[in-house]
Structure 1
Amino acid sequence: MSNKPKIIVLDDDPTGSQTVHSCLLLMRWDVDTLRIGLRDDSPIFFVLTNTRAMPTESAATVTKEVCQNLKLALAAEGITDFLIVSRSDSTLRGHYPIETDAIGSILGPFDAHFLVPAFFEGGRITRDSVHYLIIDGIPTPVHETEFAKDSVFGYHHSYLPKYVEEKTQGRISAETVERFLLADIRSGSRERLLKLSSNQCAVVDGEIQTDLNSFAVDVLAAASLGKRFLFRSAASILTALAALPPQPIAAENMAKYVRQGKPGAIIVGSHVKKTTQQLAALLQVEGIAGIEVEVARLLDGENQSATLLNDILEKIRGVHNAGKTPVVYTSRQELTFQDVKTRLEFGVKVSSLLMDIVRGLPSDIGFLIGKGGITSNDILSTGLALTSARLLGQILPGCSMVITNSDHPQFPNLPVVLFPGNVGDADALGTIYKRLTKNTK
C-alpha cells in the first residue's frame, strides 16, 4: 500500500465510512491524533468534523483548523503523497462550497475539485450530470425529493453544474463546470485529468461501482504524475480510491462482536421520513421496548431537562433488567422555529440530552446503535468521549460498525453501529437488531 497516496477524509458526519472497513475514525484533530491516522496501516482514515450540524462560520473555522493541523502532521510524518476528500451527503446537503474553499485555502492550490455524490448502496446514482435517488426502483432527480427542501441546505437543481452555480452564487457558472460522463469514465479519463488546472470544478457520473473504480484508477495515475485533486463526495468514490479487500467478518456474522451476548441500546435522533418508517417497524420487533423522548419539554427550561433525563434513564434500566433492548427515540412531530439559528441551537439541546442518556446507559450493554448521522457522531465524540475508533465494516449496506478501545473507562470493546438517517429499507433497523441478537435469543 505504500506506493498509494494516503486518503484523508474530512467527514461532515460519521457515516462516510459506510463503504469501507478496518480503518480509523478520528473524533479529535490535534496534531498528535492526526499523526496516529497517518501512521496507521490502512490506506484511508476519517476525521469526523460533524460540520453538517454547524452554522456556516463554524463549519469553515473547524475545517481550516483540521487542515492547519493536518499540514503540521503531514510534515512531521514526512508525507507528501496524499488525497483529500471532503465527504458529505449523497443527497447534496452540506456546506458546499464553504468546506472545499476552506480546504483549498490551507492545503491548496489544487488542479481540480470533483463533485462525486454517487452512493450506490443507498440508491444514489449520477447520469448525464444529473443526480438521482432511486425510490421504489424509479430514479428520481434529487431536487424533487424531501432532501432538497431541507431548511438549512435546500437547493433547486439536480443537474450538478447548475447545483454548483446555485451554491457558489454564480462564482462558478454552470457552463464552466467540466463534466465526466459515463461514456468518458468507461473509455478512460487519464489524459483529460492531466489537463485540469486552477482548481477547475468537475462533476462525475456514476451508475455502478465499477464506474468509480475506473475513474479512481485514472485519478491515482494522474496524481502519481503530480496532479493535485480535491474531492467533494459521498461514500462510493472512497471504496474505489481505497481498493480494500472484503471485510474480515461478514455482515450477517457481526453478532460475534456483541459483548457477552447482552441486550443493547438504540438511540434514534434522525427525523427524515425513512427513519420514522424504520422506527415504526422496529418497535414491532420482539425484544424491543420503545422509550419516547418528548423534546418539546426542553423548551420549558433546565429543570424540565433534568427531570426528563432521570425519567428516561429509569425506564432504560427497567427495560435492560428485563433482558430487552430499549429504543430511545425523539418525538416525531416537527417543531417550528423563528429562524435557522434557533433551530440549530435547539438541535444542540436535544443532542445534549441524548448524550446524557448515552452516558447513563447500563455499562454492561452488549451493543449500541445510533440512528442519524449527527446523532451517531455525537455518540462517538461526546457520549462515549472517544478520540478514535476502529471501523469493523458494514453490518448492512451503508451502515458502519465500529468498536471502542479495550481501555474505554465505561464501555470497553463495545460495538457501535452508525446508521445514517436516509439509508436502508423500512425493515433495516429491525434487520440490524436481529443480526446483533441472532445468537442470543
Structure 2
Amino acid sequence: MTRPKIIVLDDDPTGSQTVHSCLLLMQWDVETLRLGLQDDAPIFFVLTNTRSLTPEKAADVTREACQNLKQALDLENIQDFLVVSRSDSTLRGHYPIETDVIASELGAFDAHFLTPAFFEGGRTTRDSVHYLKVDGVETPVHETEFAQDSVFGYSHSYLPDYVAEKTEGRIPAEQVERFLLAEIRQGVLERLLHLHDNQCCVVDAETQADLNRFAADILAAADQGKRFLFRSAASLLTALAALPAQAIAPEAMAQYVRNSKPGAVIVGSHVQKTTEQLQHLLEQPGIVGVQVEVSRLLAPDREEARSHLLAEILEQTNAIYADGKTSVVYTSRHELTFDDAQTRLDFGEAVSGLLMDVLQNLPNAIGFLISKGGITSNDTLSTGLALRTAWLLGQVLPGVSMVRTAADHPQFPNLPIVLFPGNVGDATALATVYQRLAQSLT
C-alpha cells in the first residue's frame, strides 16, 4: 500500500504536538510548499495561523495556501495525499469556513471527518459527544470555558448538532454520518468506501488505539481511490503518520539547550489553565517574572505608551539574563472586554506585536525559548524569529512540541523553542518543561 503524503494546514502551530522529525512551514509560497512535499517525512505542517484572523481573512489565507499547494503538487507530480485542517480540540476555530475553502480548491472529496479527540489534552469523543477532562471529570465541552469564547463560542457538544450550528443549518444534524466506537473497533473500511460528495462525518475515539484502527481503514480506502479531508485535532496525525519513537526522550531534551545558558519564556495565552501553570512556574528557582500590563496599550497615545512599556520590559529581561536567570514575560491575567470580535482581534495583534518586539531584543545567547499559547507561538516562529521553516524535534511533554531554528539563523542559530499550547497539561506542566530544560544550566 502506498502511503499518501499528509499535508496539514494548521490554524496555529500546536498541531504538531503529537509527532516529530518533520518540517513546519511558516510560509506557503509554492517553493516553500515544495520543500515540505520533497521531505522524506510522511507529514508536514503549514502554519496558517488562521485562528487569529477574521473569518474573511481566514478564508483568503486558506484559499491562497490551497492554490499554491495545487501548483506544488503538480510540480512534484504527487497524486496521493491527505489534507488535514488541524484545529483546536475544544472546537474553537473557523469551521466550516476552512474546510469549505479546501474542498472548493483541492476537491472533490468523498467525505470530511471531524475528529477532535486529543488524548494528551484529555479530550475524548463517545457516542458523538466530545468531552474534556476538567479536574479529572469528563465534561461535555459546551459546559467548559472554551464554549464561551467570544469569537468561536458554541452551544453543543454533540457533534452533529455542533455541525448544524456552525453551518447554520446547511448540514442538518440528521445528515451527519456518525462513526461510533464499536464500529471503529470492528473496522469501518466498507463504510468508508461508500462515502461520496464530501459527506460530513464525526468520529468517536477514546484511546489512541481507536484512531490507529480508524487511520488504517482510512489509508486502505485512500489506496482504493477515495479522497478524504479532515477537520482534526492532533491525535489523528499520530495515527496517520505512524512514526517511530522520537530520537531523544522528552526527559532528556535538555541536551538541545545552547551552551547551558538560561533562557526566556513568553506567555501570551490567558486561559485559566495557563494562569495556573504560570503561577507554578514563577515559584521555580532561577525564574524571574516580568508582567506586561497590556491595558497600557489602550492609552490615547498608544505608540508612546507602547514604547515606554517595551523599554521597561527589555531593561528587566536583560538584567535577569545578566544575573544568570530565566525571564518569564507574561501578559497581565485579567481579560479585557471589547465591543466586538474585530476589536478584540485587533488588540490581540497589538499585544502580540509587543511580545514579538520583546523576543527580537532578547540576548542573542539565550539557551532556549518557551512560547506559551497557540497564537503567541505562531507569531514567535513567523514574526519574532522570521522563520521560513523549522524542524520539529519532538515532544518535551505530551502535547508540547520542541522545534529548532536553522544553524544559519542570523540572531538565534540552533535555538530550541518549546511550543506550548494554552490549554494543555496539568497545573505543574509549564514548570516541568522548564525543569527539564534547566537541567543543563550552569
TM-score by length of 1: 0.99
CA drift at 1:333: 1.2
Q: What one-letter code is carried by the residue in structure 2 that aligns with 1:337?
A: F
- Give the Cα–Cα distance (whole angstroms) in 1 for the partners of residues 441 and 26 of structure 2: 32
2:376 matched residue in structure 1? 375
1:434 matched residue in structure 2? 435
2:318 matched residue in structure 1? 317
- Give the Cα–Cα distance (whole angstroms) in 2 for the partners of residues 167 and 155 of structure 1: 8
For residues 111-153 of structure 1, the C-alpha deviation after alignment (integer angstroms, 9 at most, x for no partner) is 0000000000000000000000012221100000000000000
1:356 matched residue in structure 2? 357
- Give the Cα–Cα distance (whole angstroms) in 2 for the partners of residues 139 and 299 of structure 1: 39
What secondary structure, in the 3-state scheme, does the structure 2 residue paired with 1:166 have?
A: helix
Structure 1 alignment gaps of length 5 or more: none
CA drift at 1:338: 1.1
2:211 matched residue in structure 1? 212
CA drift at 1:194: 0.1
1:60 matched residue in structure 2? 59
2:234 matched residue in structure 1? 235
- Give the Cα–Cα distance (whole angstroms) in 2 for the partners of residues 312 and 117 of structure 1: 38
For residues 321-347 of structure 1, the C-alpha deviation after alignment (integer angstroms, 9 at most, x for no partner) is 000000000011111111111111000
CA drift at 1:270: 0.2
Q: What one-letter code is carried by the residue in structure 1 that aligns with 2:240?
A: L
- Give the Cα–Cα distance (whole angstroms) in 2 for the partners of residues 425 and 136 of structure 1: 9
- Give the Cα–Cα distance (whole angstroms) in 1 for the partners of residues 125 and 178 of structure 2: 11
- Give the Cα–Cα distance (whole angstroms) in 2 for the partners of residues 158 and 332 of structure 1: 28
Contact 2:178 2:201 in 1 (8 A): yes
- Give the Cα–Cα distance (whole angstroms) in 2 for the partners of residues 439 and 315 of structure 1: 23
> What pairs with 1:83-98 in structure 2 (closer than 5 Å)?
83-98=82-97
1:24 matched residue in structure 2? 23
For residues 274-327 of structure 1, the C-alpha deviation after alignment (integer angstroms, 9 at most, x for no partner) is 000000111010000000001111111101101111110110000000000000
Tell which deviates more after alignment, 131-140 or 151-160.
131-140
1:7 aligns with 2:6: yes
CA drift at 1:16: 0.2
Q: What one-letter code is carried by the residue in structure 1 that aligns with 2:402?
A: M
> What pairs with 1:189-204 in structure 2 (closer than 5 Å)?
189-204=188-203
What is the root-mean-square deviation in Å for CA atoms of aligned residues? 0.7
1:157 matched residue in structure 2? 156
> What pairs with 1:30-429 in structure 2 (closer than 5 Å)?
30-300=29-299, 301-429=302-430
- Give the Cα–Cα distance (whole angstroms) in 2 for the partners of residues 17 and 204 of structure 1: 20
CA drift at 1:362: 0.3
For residues 391-426 of structure 1, the C-alpha deviation after alignment (integer angstroms, 9 at most, x for no partner) is 000000000000000000000000000000000011
- Give the Cα–Cα distance (whole angstroms) in 1 for the partners of residues 183 and 177 of structure 2: 12
- Give the Cα–Cα distance (whole angstroms) in 1 for the partners of residues 173 and 130 of structure 2: 15
- Give the Cα–Cα distance (whole angstroms) in 1 for the partners of residues 358 and 318 of structure 2: 11
What secondary structure, in the 3-state scheme, does the structure 2 residue paired with 1:252 have?
A: helix
Contact 2:2 2:223 in 1 (8 A): no
Contact 2:370 2:417 in 1 (8 A): yes
Structure 1 runs of 4+ aligned residues shifted over 4 Å read none
Structure 2 alignment gaps of length 5 or more: none
- Give the Cα–Cα distance (whole angstroms) in 1 for the partners of residues 232 and 99 of structure 2: 11
Q: What one-letter code is carried by the residue in structure 1 that aligns with 2:14?
A: T
Percentage of matched positions with identical amino acids: 71
- Give the Cα–Cα distance (whole angstroms) in 1 for the partners of residues 343 and 142 of structure 2: 25
What secondary structure, in the 3-state scheme, does the structure 2 residue paired with 1:274 have?
A: helix
What secondary structure, in the 3-state scheme, does the structure 2 residue paired with 1:103 have?
A: helix
TM-score by length of 2: 0.99
Contact 2:257 2:440 in 1 (8 A): no
CA drift at 1:165: 0.3
- Give the Cα–Cα distance (whole angstroms) in 1 for the partners of residues 378 and 323 of structure 2: 29
CA drift at 1:3: 2.4
What secondary structure, in the 3-state scheme, does the structure 2 residue paired with 1:185 have?
A: helix
- Give the Cα–Cα distance (whole angstroms) in 2 for the partners of residues 334 and 209 of structure 1: 35
- Give the Cα–Cα distance (whole angstroms) in 2 for the partners of residues 288 and 226 of structure 1: 54
